[in-house]
Structure formats: C-alpha cells, structure tokens
Chain A
Amino acid sequence: MWIRLRIADLETIVHYTGIFVAGIGAVMVVPLATAVLAAEWAPAMDYLLGIGVALVVGLSMALVRPAQHRITHAHALMIAAFSWLACSLVAAVPLAFSPNYASYLDAVFDALSGLTTSGLTVVSDLDHMAYSHNMWRHLTHLIGGQGIIVAALSLAIGLRGGAFALYLAEARDEKVLPNVVNTARFIWFVTAVYVAAGTAVLFVLNLVRGMVLSRAGLQAFWMVIAAYDTGGFAPQSQNQLYYHSAIFEIVTVTLMMAGTLNFNLHAAVWRGNRKEIFRNIETRTLAFSILAISLIVSLGLAATQYYDAVPSVIRKGVYHVFSAHTGTGHQTLYPSQWAGDFGQLAFIGILLAMGLGGGMSSTGGGIKALRVGLLFKAISNNVREAISPRSALVQTRYHHIRDKVLTPELTVSVLIFFTLFVLSYVTGTIVGTGYGSPLMDAAFESVSASANVGLSTGITGPAMPTGLKLLYIVQMWIGRLEFIAVLALFGYVLTALRPSRTS
C-alpha cells in the first residue's frame, strides 16, 4: 500500500529541493567569472539571468518551512528524484540562451546529461561554443558525478535530520566514514586530488602540442572532469578523437578507472590498506569483465577491414571498452563508424560493457560490477546447493572492504536492480526502433542513456524527434538514481491523483 503524502511532507520536499536549486545558482558564478575573463558579454548576461532564476526559484522553495526538519526515508527518495530534475531544469536556463541549443528542451537534455554524467549531447556547432558555456557543461559533470546531495552535505548547508537518508537516496550504498558529512568531504578530497593531478598532466601535454596557455588549461580541466566523473562531454565536436594522442588517451583512461572505483575502496586504499584493491569482489569483477570484453572486441576488430592492425585494436577497441565499462563515453570514432566500420562482434562487446557498468558508490553508471559479481556468486551458490546433501548448509562469502556472507535478501536486491536495468535497456530499444532507428543502433543508444555512458551511434543529436529526447531524458534520470527514487516519486504522484477511499 502506498502512503498518501500530506501537506507537511510536501513542505519538507519543496524546502530541501529549493536548497539544492539555489546551490546550482551559486555554482553558476564560475561560468559567469569565465565569461567576464574571456570578455564573453552575451553569455555573461545568460549566467546573470541563470543565477537570478536559480536563486529566486530556489530560495522561494526553501522559504517553505517544513513543520518538522526530520527527513524520513520516503522524503529522502522524493527529494532526490525531484531535486535532480529541478536542478537540471534550472541548470539549463543559461544554456537555453546560447545559440548552440535550438530549444529549451535541448538545453535541459544537455544539463541533465551533464548532471547524470551521461555525456549524450544535442548541442550544435560545439567547436564554436563560448568558453563560459563549455565551463558550465563540464561543471555539471563535476556537480552530478559526486552527487548534488553529496555536494550540499559536504558543506552541511541547511541539512538537518536525515542527512544519511538523503545520502543513500542518491544511489549510494554505504558511508565511507562514520559521519556522513565527512564521507561527503572525503569524496570531494579524492576528486580534488585526481582532478588537480590530471589537469596538470594534460595541461603540459596541450602546451607541448602547441595550444595557447588559456585554451590548454581550460581544455585540460574540462577533459579531466569529463573523464574522472565518467561524464563524456568534450569541448570539441570530435570528442577525444580531436587530440589524436595516445598519451592523452592513457591519462584519460587512468582517470576513468579512478572515477569508476567505489569511494569506499578509495578510502580503504588511502587508509593504507593497499591489498584491498586486489581482494575486493568489485575490482576483481571489473578487471575480469574488462579483460573478457576486450578479448571479444579484439576478436571482432581483427576481422574488420579498417581496425585489424594492433595499434587500432588497442586505440579503438580496448580504449572504448574502458570508456564504455567505466560509464564515461569518451570516443575516438565518429558516431557513424560504430554501425559500419566497427564490426558486429566488437559492437556487441561495447554494448555489453556499457550495460554492465562501473563501481557502486562511484561516478559510474549501469548495473554495477558489485552486483554482477554477487549475481555470479549467487548462481554458484545455487549450483552448490543443488549438488550438496539436503542437510548441508551452503554459505557463500565475498570480500568487499571486509568479509561478508551473501544473504538471500541481498541476492533478491541484486536481481531486482539487474531486472530494472535490463527492462530500461529493452524499453528504450523498443521505443527507439519504433521511431525508425535500426535495432542495434537503438539498443546502443538506449543502453548508453540508461547506464549514463554517452557513447552514441549518431541517433542523439539536435534533429532527434522530441519523443526520443524525452525518452532519453527519463532514462538518464532514472538510471542515475537507480530507479527506486524515481519509481517512488511516480508511485506517490499516482497515489495522490487517485481519489481517496472514505469509509
């Protein structure tokens, strides 16, 4: 039975969502400063307007004072679902004034794609986009990758009772530190270290390759954010291909792997427990899966006409396996090359890598390596039970930060998430095919959206039908929050619309 929300519940949801929306307005100061420094006066006005809208809307919502400050689990789910959507609608405001977006819907598509670290884009003429708009697009990866709620928690702004419930509602599984505020701050600490180190390396590479100072710095920062946050945006329309650099690809793949690593695992390794990275079920599953899919892709590419040489197999095949599996979506191919030149076997390998996804409690998307590992453990457990005497107690253990036992409840939870992701992939494929896309292209785009990857066969673009834009927006949103928060929102809305039974 669904519980009908009361006015007091709605006040709580509106109040906290308003805080996050106002926070988005505060971060818009960065692209505003970029616009002023680059003398981009029209975009500067766009960001002044965006900040105004975000603050007026956000603070008006935050002024709704909840009768009680305690956030229940139900509140947290609704706040997470609602605030991710509301923040995307507000983040889109300055982009909508850019000549690079044909409509407000297109701007919302990119804002939500950025916040969910998907990387699918409907931008036009990206190569001539203002620095400030590019800064904002990439900053959405940084905000969304770590989590809108995590960002607010790390500053402890306006969040009272229920901080942990909010943290979990944003598709996180457990705290890294005993206190949720410090957990959020640790997530930002890891991010700052990787972003600073990565930016320094790519900045030098860009300078060596002849870029001017400002462009070298900005492009390095943007590509690092997009790789570490497993986002996939890039400041150039050719994406990673623009740089034509093996070293650039090695650096970004390293960042993608760091981004897709569970923050609990980062914490264990950074506490001095270096063996954890080799013992953890999640890293073992991820390593095995990346290796196996790389073999599939290599076999597929070896049989093609264009990518059968060893350097091509590595830079087009293995590179995209990492990009897809970590949920990043950076690509060194033109979209049209996936269906044609890449070969069907390699194409299926990339599709599989996207669907399986990266680490739990990371910036990655998809089903997640921990769940895949546990699913195989559960299958093994069932087989062992089947061949054991009836009186035998079969117990399966796994190692994730500490030794744990695979319980029936955990197995059911894994199966539910697995089913929800597969349902989302299939639904998107069916609708995409209905809009006239070839089956495999529609499947690729659907999995890419739901798993927040961003690789594209070319279906996604400004000329895409409005229905498909809305479909991928929902898939990216629902996939980022791992279904439960958004499904809870739909459930409560439907319950509210149904006439109440009176006795």
Chain B
Amino acid sequence: MADARDAPRESLSQSPYRHWLTGLGTEVGTFLAFGLFVSAVAALIVVLLQG
C-alpha cells in the first residue's frame, strides 16, 4: 500500500462534486418530504382508528 501522503489527490474544487449544492438540496428536500409523508400516514391511521 502506498504512503497515504503520496497518493494522487482529487481536489473537491476540480471536481466531480461541483453539483454539491443541488445534491444538498436534493437530500434535504427528500428528507423533508419523507418526514412529512410518514407524519401524514401516522396521522391518518390515528384519525381512522379514532373516527
């Protein structure tokens, strides 16, 4: 195994990660939508049970 310090480096700015902001937006949007969906299903269950 080569020395960790000698390995070729892939700079973030060069970068396959130039989409990081849209990636972040996708993740946060997905998490919020999923949380809302789970909460809505839970609420529906309770309303149906008590209705």
Contact = CB atoms under 8 A, between A and B. Distances in A.
A257 B4 contact: no
A160 B38 contact: no
A375 interface: no
A266 B17 CA distance: 10
B46 A313 contact: yes
B1 A257 contact: no
Contacts of B9: 179, 181-182
Interface in B10-44: 10, 12, 16-17, 19-20, 22-24, 26-28, 30-32, 34-35, 37-39, 41-43
B27 A277 contact: yes
B4 A180 contact: yes
Given A182-B9, A258-B27, A291-B38, A163 B49 contact: no
Contacts of B23: 266, 269-272, 274
Contact of A272 (B1, B19, B30, B37): B19
A171 interface: no
A399 interface: no
A299 B45 contact: yes
A320 to B, nearest CB: 12
A269 B27 contact: yes
A314 B34 contact: no
Contact of A302 (B5, B12, B34, B50): B50
Contacts of B41: 291, 294-295
A189 B12 contact: yes
A186 B22 contact: no
Contacts of A270: 17, 19-20, 23-24
B40 to A, nearest CB: 9
Contact of A290 (B3, B5, B8, B38): B38
A156 interface: yes
Nearest to B3: A160
Contacts of B10: 177-179, 182
Contacts of B27: 258, 261, 266, 269, 277
A298 B45 contact: yes
Contact of A274 (B3, B5, B26, B34): B26
Contact of B39 (A178, A269, A318): A318
A165 B28 CA distance: 33
Interface of A: 70-71, 153, 156, 159-165, 177-182, 185-186, 189, 193-194, 197, 250, 253-254, 257-258, 261, 266-267, 269-272, 274, 277-278, 287, 290-291, 294-295, 297-299, 301-302, 308-310, 313-314, 317-318, 321-322
7 contacts: A160-B4, A162-B1, A181-B4, A197-B24, A250-B35, A310-B47, A318-B39
Interface of B: 1-5, 7-10, 12, 16-17, 19-20, 22-24, 26-28, 30-32, 34-35, 37-39, 41-43, 45-47, 49-50
